[in-house]
């Protein structure tokens, strides 16, 4: 049984905590670890260390800071397979999905090494006679990230490498449901010899989060999680005057036009809805048949979904793993019950699935509801599991209305062979990450990640070019030397 520790000021330390949480392997349903719910005092220690480290780190040339990241990349590559396997063990996704996640994490380290280009400012001579002006980007201080359960490796790294390479110091608060992956990643950080206090990790739950939100010496927070928590974080950071980017939940619509190439599209449609067991903020959730494609789409989709091999993600050939926890499994099953109660027709039932050898695992099989209408709960709320709501609309306009009326605006996808339809969709749909003939519109590290409406609170999104702005202040210097 692994008992997890914090990493503060370059050292592994036992946390001051009144309470410990259990860490589970969702595939087997067994307890595999204990995570401290660190007290506010642990956050204070990490902030003190990060604050102490800040000035020297900030004065370290950006290229030298980038060299730490080059070294870190090599250590992460060395630990790649081990990180991917720990991730599967505590989160439940398949090994291939996990390898994809770790790769995306490392790509953020690679992108961040471009700091010497990305952090440059601009200048203009003679803004008035004999007066010159420069705009310089400067680091700000201590930043932190509060992470969700579903991408234990990647999500904190949408922010961490950029914060640090820009000259800030950092605190990671991993999800208490999946704390082991970051712990292994921090072993790689430890091997790289970063100066003490530059990167810290504190495990915990609400107390630790709330201390981060209200700590006067933390200058900015990146948050990713459910929209209810994202709103809380956004509000608290507003109150305390911190920079904030707060990424929330999603309800993504995937529209299929009558002219779509259904057979070619089916693998990516299935991955969209059932990849990572639907626990992805970019997952398709509502499958919308436009016009007369409905019957054919339904038949092909349900057949492909039924054929998916569900099991322990560490085993060969498994296409969908369990959901993360018993509690989350019950929440998803509750949504299936709700769908039935509200009159949707359950045409593929993933409840009571049996996975050989793992009677205690948190499994839900691929599930499809037909006859779903916009006011039903399963058409509106984020389920975050392998449950698909199938709807039909008459035309693209009606489909776009569904997206517009949704509380969320993370992603939207369209399948079509018509360029004009694709352009109209991209132009009008109220969501921030768009897939055309793709079911998961996941921006790579050099493009921004984040949604609209109830899926995002703030203005600067994750990674991309903008992130260098989030982690720096633009200082304007106006000079006259006569």
Residues that bind ligand NAD (CB under 6 A): 146-151, 155, 173, 175-176, 205-206, 209-210, 224-226, 229, 232, 247-250, 281, 382, 384, 410, 449, 451, 455
The catalytic residue among 25, 237, 276, 281 is 281
Contact at 8 Å (CB) between 4 and 205?
A: no
We find the least distance from the C-beta atom of residue 247 to ligand NAD, in angstroms, to be 4
Q: Which residues contact 98 (CB under 8 A, 6 or more apart)?
A: 84, 85, 87, 88, 91, 153, 313
Nearer to ligand NAD, 114 or 448 (CB): 448
Nearer to ligand NAD, 277 or 281 (CB): 281
Say whether 25 is catalytic. Answer: no
Nearer to ligand NAD, 163 or 355 (CB): 163
We find the least distance from the C-beta atom of residue 114 to ligand NAD, in angstroms, to be 22
Nearer to ligand NAD, 131 or 430 (CB): 430
Nearer to ligand NAD, 148 or 361 (CB): 148
Laid out side by side, the sheet with 131-138 consists of 122-128, 131-138, 473-480
Separation of alpha carbons 169 and 359, rounded Å: 45
Nearer to ligand NAD, 54 or 457 (CB): 457
Instruction: Give the count of beta carbons closer than 10 Å to the beta carbon of residue 443.
Output: 17
We find the least distance from the C-beta atom of residue 400 to ligand NAD, in angstroms, to be 21
Residue 194 DSSP class:
P
Q: Which residues contact 299 (CB under 8 A, 6 or more apart)?
A: none
Separation of alpha carbons 49 and 142, rounded Å: 10
We find the least distance from the C-beta atom of residue 451 to ligand NAD, in angstroms, to be 5
Residue 316 DSSP class:
T
Give the residue at shortest CB distance from ligand NAD. 225
Phi-psi domain of 288 (left: phi exceeds 0; alpha: psi -120 through 50; beta: other): beta
We find the least distance from the C-beta atom of residue 210 to ligand NAD, in angstroms, to be 6
We find the least distance from the C-beta atom of residue 209 to ligand NAD, in angstroms, to be 3
We find the least distance from the C-beta atom of residue 110 to ligand NAD, in angstroms, to be 20
Nearer to ligand NAD, 339 or 458 (CB): 458
Quick one: how many helices (H) and strands (E) in the chain?
16, 23
Cα three-residue angle 270-278-406, rounded to 5 degrees: 100
Q: What is the DSSP string of 450-474?
A: --EETTEEESS-BSTTTHHHHT-EE
Torsion, Cα 133 135 141 147, to 10 degrees, reads: 160
Longest dimension (CA), the chain: 83
Q: Which residues contact 182 (CB under 8 A, 6 or more apart)?
A: 147, 152, 153, 156, 172, 174, 201
Catalytic residues, by residue number, are 281
């Amino acid at each position: 049984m692994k008992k997890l520790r914090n990493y503060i000021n370059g050292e592994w330390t036992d946390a001051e905590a009144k309470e410990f949480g259990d860490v589970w392997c969702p595939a087997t349903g067994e307890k595999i670890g204990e995570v401290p719910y660190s007290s506010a005092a642990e956050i204070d220690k990490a902030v003190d260390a990060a604050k102490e480290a800040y000035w020297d780190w900030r004065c370290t040339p950006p290229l030298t800071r980038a060299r730490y990241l080059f070294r870190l990349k090599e250590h992460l590559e060395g630990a790649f397979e081990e990180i991917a396997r720990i991730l599967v063990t505590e989160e439940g996704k398949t090994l291939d999905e996990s390898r994809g996640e770790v790769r995306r994490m490392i790509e953020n380290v690679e992108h961040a090494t471009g700091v010497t280009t990305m952090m440059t400012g601009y200048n203009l001579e003679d803004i008035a006679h004999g007066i010159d002006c420069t705009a310089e980007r400067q680091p700000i201080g201590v930043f932190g990230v509060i992470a969700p359960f579903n991408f234990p490796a990647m999500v904190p790294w949408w922010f961490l490498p950029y914060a640090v390479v820009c000259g800030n110091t950092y605190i990671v608060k991993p999800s208490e449901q999946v704390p082991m992956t970051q712990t292994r990643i921090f072993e790689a950080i430890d091997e790289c010899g970063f100066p003490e206090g530059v990167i810290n990790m504190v495990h915990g739950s609400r107390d630790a989060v709330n201390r981060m939100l209200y700590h006067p010496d933390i200058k900015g927070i990146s948050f990713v999680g459910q929209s209810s928590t994202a709103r809380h974080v956004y509000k608290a950071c507003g109150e305390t005057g911190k920079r904030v980017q707060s990424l929330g939940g999603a309800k993504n619509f995937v529209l299929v036009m009558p002219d779509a190439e259904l057979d070619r599209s089916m693998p990516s449609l299935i991955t969209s809805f059932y990849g990572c067991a639907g626990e992805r903020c970019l997952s398709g959730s509502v499958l919308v048949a436009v016009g007369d494609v409905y019957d054919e789409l339904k038949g092909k989709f349900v057949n492909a979904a039924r054929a998916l091999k569900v099991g322990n993600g560490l085993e060969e050939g498994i296409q969908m793993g369990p959901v993360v926890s018993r509690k989350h499994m019950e929440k998803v099953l509750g949504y299936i019950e709700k769908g039935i109660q509200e009159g949707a027709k359950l045409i593929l039932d993933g409840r009571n699935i049996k996975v050989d050898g793992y009677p205690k695992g948190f499994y839900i099989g691929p599930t499809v509801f037909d006859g779903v209408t916009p006011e039903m709960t399963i058409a509106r709320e984020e389920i975050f599991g392998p449950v698909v709501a199938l709807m039909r609309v008459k035309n693209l306009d009606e489909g776009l209305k569904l997206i517009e009326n949704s509380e969320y605006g993370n992603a939207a996808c369209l399948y079509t062979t018509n360029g004009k339809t694709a352009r109209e969709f991209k132009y009008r749909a109220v969501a921030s990450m768009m897939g055309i003939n793709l079911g998961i519109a996941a921006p790579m590290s050099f493009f921004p990640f984040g949604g609209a409406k109830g899926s995002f609170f703030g203005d600067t999104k994750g990674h991309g070019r903008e992130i260098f702005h989030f982690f720096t202040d633009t200082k304007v210097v106006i000079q006259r030397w006569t």
